[in-house]
Amino acid sequence: MARQIVNLGSSPNKGDGDPLRVAFDKINDNFEELYAASSAGDFINTDVFGSVYSDDSTLIVDSVNGIFYGNLVGDVIGSVFADDSTIIIDSETGTIPGYVSVNELKNIVAQSTDFNDFKARISNL
């Protein structure tokens, strides 16, 4: 359904806009479509640019510094990028660039002969 616009009329109280029943029917139809989309999980289907704030104005994602503060409830589908297009989470590889996975760190520890060898291997990452 296309969005339905309530006709407000040419001026206040002139009487040439939608009657109340017609206006609220359009409003109900518009909200019904929004709620159906949100419950189907396709309500937000575009990229988010910039910082993200919670309802109480707490900063969750700082796009300037590329810092994430908090927890996500639900799934994030796709890669996450900072304002400067630096990749923060790579959905193709399932990694966070610049960070070493626990399994990779375990392998480095297992392969190291001593602490100096460990430090050399870590510095090559």
Whole-structure pTM value: 0.34
Backbone angles phi, psi at 101, to 5 degrees: -70, 160
pLDDT computed for residue 16 by the predictor: 93
Residues 82 and 49: their CA atoms lie apart, in Å, by 8
Span 114-123, average pLDDT: 84
Instruction: Enumerate the domain spans of the chain.
Output: 1-45
pLDDT computed for residue 91 by the predictor: 74
- Our CA angle for 27, 30, 31, nearest 5°, is 90
Q: Is the pLDDT of residue 25 over 90?
A: yes
Question: Residue 43: pLDDT band by 50, 70, 90 thresholds?
Answer: low
Helix, strand or coil, per DSSP, at residue 59: strand
